[in-house]
Structure 1
Amino acid sequence: MTASKIHWNPGWTTKAPEQGDLVLELSGSGVVKPADGWLRPLESMTGNPESAEFVSLGSANGRPVFVTEVPESKAEGQEVVSLRDALLMISDAPAAMLSTGFQVWQWFQDHKYCGRCGGSTGFHPRERAKWCSTCNIPWYPRLAPCVIVVIRRQDQYLLAKSSRVKRHFYSLIAGFVEPGESLEGAVVREVKEETGLDVTNIRYQGSEPWPFPHQLMAGFFADYAGGELVLQEDEIADAGWFSPESRPPVPPETTISGRLIRDMEKVIVAGGSGS
């Protein structure tokens, strides 16, 4: 089943996979990719279905889809694509399905035991949650809200290079939302902490799940309001003001950062305010 033919719908069931159901196989930080797509039938999976654990993801083309993990020794000789490469470099990768698969599998591994009493958990009968019958509490998949922002100053915008990521992209200022903080408040704080700049006129543009490991990215435009660049060196290796015709390499449009940058470029070229 090739990526271009995958029509994936998220969903949830507690039933075990059956012959003919589809499996997304993970191995380490990558996906075991069959020659004809991203999924394989249960009966032809790389590992041993009898000893594997499975978590429901939804359905693809009307067939149930499950995620499992294959030991790296079993994946030898197979094509294993890292999740980051799939999302950044492969335009026809089923990004939503792969993102969900990694996040759901991580949740399944992290909550085999109750965080309160330490007892074993089972699947909740009606929701995507692990259930502790002793404490009577559910453990849902974790989501961490984050903000990411394009800052405009006249006909230029700010791009920054992370001190942690090895890729040569320049991208945007981003960070996690703190408890008790609004999304807009997080934009102001993160920009100030990482660059020393002040921003105003913050406006929401869109969102995207980002599974490294479980972020939900909220994208914004903002206007420069003052200050000089003072970089937080443990976060930002370099930053500067760029114009649409003279910018460095940036992430592809398959990512929210890539789309935000290109959307801002269109606003600048058109002479608009982007409000």
Structure 2
Amino acid sequence: MSRIVHPQDLGKAAQNFKAGCAILLIAEEGVWASDQHWQTVGFDWWQGNAEALGLGLDDVHYVAEFDGQDYFAIYLESSDAMQNGQWQGLRQLLPHLNEAEFELLGRASQICQWDRNHRFCGHCGHVTHYHPKDRARACDNCGLHSYPRISPCIIVLVSRGEYCLLARHQRYKTPMFSCLAGFIEAGESAEQCVSREVFEEVGITVHELTYQGSQSWPFPGQLMLGFRAEYKSGDILIDEEEIAEAGWYHYSQLPLVPPRESISGQLIQEFVDSFS
């Protein structure tokens, strides 16, 4: 089984950027891939292309140790810099990734996006630099340290006997139904968020909340906290700005749902499996 090891000392780990390391390439379009499988380049690629692409060591990010090899990530401002392959969005690659691969690629993507957005201090506007040991960009002018932004969200599968509540979001281009989800607001607990989001999106109340697990979701930087909840009262009344349609579905007659690699798919599958 693939294993990811996160660095205790980022500065020390960054010294492994040398022959033998693996480099993940990230661009606006996604990650560098070939035939629906993510690809890496070696240190020789860096030696031959960095200067022409205007890349410096500040553009190189240590990601993690994966299966005994050190992985780094580099963001390319121009996706045209690569040939003999293609850029693939993480969502499109998800069905072809195992859990460790999704964690590795998601981490690389989030780190690159964070770094791009914090090259200048959000407080005083001065240029920032990489902290020597931590995953942070530091401002020498005012002392502000900017860490990768993680947005906590809840995702919940509401059940009512042999039926579960699934909804199709307005932003979905495909007729896919999923669990309800939403961002946790300032000063709000995860459990409070579950009750609020369910009521706001579909107009019902829930109880008997149970925490099921979590998943990093790099679109662009959420931490999804998964819950199960039981229906309590009310009739479905959707928020038409966010939800296109919602309904109760029997565990044996589900519509198109997210893949099992996602926490939404896992919550749904666990519900189905509870009746086998």
Same fold (TM over 0.5): yes
Partner of residue 9, structure 1: 5
Task: Say yes or no: does 1:188 pair with 2:195.
Answer: yes
Question: Shift in Å at residue 177 of structure 1?
Answer: 0.2
Question: Shift in Å at residue 23 of structure 1?
Answer: 0.3
Size of the alignment, in residue pairs? 264
Among 75, 79, 87, the residue aligned to 1:69:
75
Q: What amino acid is the match of 1:143?
A: I
8 Å contact 1:208–1:217 — kept in the other structure?
yes
Please, which runs of 5 or more residues in structure 2 have no aligned partner?
A: none
Give per-residue Cα distances to partners, 1:110-161, cap 9 Å, x unaligned: 1111111111111112211111122222111000000000101122110111
8 Å contact 1:29–1:83 — kept in the other structure?
no
Matches within 5 A, 1:76-225: 76-87=83-94, 89-92=95-98, 94-225=101-232
Task: Say yes or no: does 1:38 pair with 2:39.
Answer: yes
Q: Displaced runs of 4+ in structure 1, greater than 4 A?
A: 34-37
SS at match of 1:73: helix
So what's the TM-score if we normalise by structure 1?
A: 0.89
Partner of residue 272, structure 2: 265
Please, which runs of 5 or more residues in structure 1 have no aligned partner?
A: 271-275
Mark the CA change 1:46 to 1:246 in structure 2 (over 3 Å): closer, same or farther.
farther
SS at match of 1:100: helix
Instruction: Give, in whole Å, the separation in 1 of the partners of 2:97 and 2:21.
Output: 26
Greater alpha carbon shift after TM alignment, 9-18 vs 119-128: 9-18
Partner of residue 253, structure 2: 246
Question: Shift in Å at residue 47 of structure 1?
Answer: 8.0
Instruction: Give, in whole Å, the separation in 1 of the partners of 2:178 and 2:200.
Output: 17
Question: Shift in Å at residue 45 of structure 1?
Answer: 5.8
Question: Shift in Å at residue 108 of structure 1?
Answer: 0.5
So what's the TM-score if we normalise by structure 2?
A: 0.89
8 Å contact 1:122–1:130 — kept in the other structure?
yes
8 Å contact 2:98–2:261 — kept in the other structure?
no
Instruction: Give, in whole Å, the separation in 1 of the partners of 2:239 and 2:84.
Output: 43
Q: What amino acid is the match of 1:67?
A: A
8 Å contact 1:27–1:75 — kept in the other structure?
no
Partner of residue 26, structure 2: 26
8 Å contact 1:160–1:173 — kept in the other structure?
yes
SS at match of 2:213: strand
Percent identity between the aligned chains?
34
Q: What amino acid is the match of 1:107?
A: W
Instruction: Give, in whole Å, the separation in 1 of the partners of 2:62 and 2:90.
Output: 19
8 Å contact 1:46–1:74 — kept in the other structure?
no
Question: Shift in Å at residue 76 of structure 1?
Answer: 4.4
Partner of residue 273, structure 1: none
Question: Shift in Å at residue 235 of structure 1?
Answer: 1.0
8 Å contact 1:24–1:67 — kept in the other structure?
yes
SS at match of 2:254: coil
Give per-residue Cα distances to partners, 1:199-249, cap 9 Å, x unaligned: 111110000000111000000000111111111112111111011111101
8 Å contact 2:30–2:88 — kept in the other structure?
yes
Mark the CA change 1:168 to 1:90 in structure 2 (over 3 Å): closer, same or farther.
farther
Instruction: Give, in whole Å, the separation in 1 of the partners of 2:65 and 2:46.
Output: 17
8 Å contact 1:103–1:211 — kept in the other structure?
yes
